[in-house]
Amino acid sequence: MNPFRKNLDNIISKIEKARIAFSRHQIVHLIAVSKYVNTNDIQTLYDCGQRAFGENKIQDFKTKADTLKELPLQWHMIGSVQENKINALLALKPALLHSLDSLKLAQAIEKRCARDNYNLKALLQINSSEEITKSGVKPQEAFQTYLKILNECPHIKLEGLMSIGAHTEEIKKIEQSFQITKDIFDKLSNYGAKTLSMGMSSDFEIAICYGANMVRIGSALFER
């Protein structure tokens, strides 16, 4: 059996179990993080039924998307975006930008989008664990920043929030970081927030228990 198919089936069954424990009405979208794999591996996972893939770097995104342009893939940008790479990002037309990590970046993207009359779907990234190694808006500033982007950046279509769980072995701290993001997300649901992107290979089941409806999984899908 193709090892990727076995991995995908295993991940989907874990997602289902966690989803049902949270709510039978919850739908969870799986983004396969392909940043460490080649196009052959992406093609193999596509053949197993996976359609949505996430890349961290714009150049890798472009190379892989160009190589696999015949496949009906949905590409997500999940890594940090520098202002000098905005034009390159918009040219790739990602399905969703997960890593809108500041008002300043939003304003710079809005300028380019307005010029090109292009709308970009995005998630506001929150640094819910407040770790200095992570990008994102501080939790206490997230609500106002979200509303400011909604009001000032009409070409950015905010769909919700993204965060990365606390980098620790302590389950309580991981849970706490997801709970913080979920609380902000709930407040923003009145303002159109519908996507909560949380959870990676090591903690996606916990994230789903805290309301994640989109998970970003790499190593657990592509291990052989």
Which DSSP state fits 51?
-
Q: Helix crossing, 139-152 with 103-116: angle to 10°? A: 20
**CA distance linking residue 153 with residue 83, whole number of Å:** 16
**CA distance linking residue 56 with residue 215, whole number of Å:** 15
Residue 78 and residue 33 in contact, taking contact as beta carbons nearer than 8 Å: yes
Q: Spell out the domains of the chain, with CATH numbers in brackets.
A: 3-219 (3.20.20.10)
In this prediction, residue 131 carries a pLDDT of 86
Backbone φ and ψ for 138, nearest 5 degrees, come out as -65, 145
53 - beta bridge partners? Answer: 32, 75
Residue count (the chain):
224
- The 10 Å Cβ neighbour count of residue 22 is 17
Q: Give this prediction's pTM.
A: 0.96
**CA distance linking residue 211 with residue 22, whole number of Å:** 7
Structure tokens at 217: 């999984």
Residue 34 and residue 42 in contact, taking contact as beta carbons nearer than 8 Å: yes
User: SS3 for 24?
Assistant: coil
| List of residues 6+ apart from 66 with CB closer than 8 A | none
Intervals of the chain under pLDDT 50: none
- Torsion angle of C-alpha atoms 9, 15, 16, 20, degrees rounded to 10: 170
CA nearest neighbour of 44 among 79, 85, 83, 1: 1
**CA distance linking residue 37 with residue 35, whole number of Å:** 6
214, burial (CB in 10 Å: exposed 0-12, middle 13-18, buried 19+): buried
In this prediction, residue 133 carries a pLDDT of 87
User: SS3 for 102?
Assistant: coil
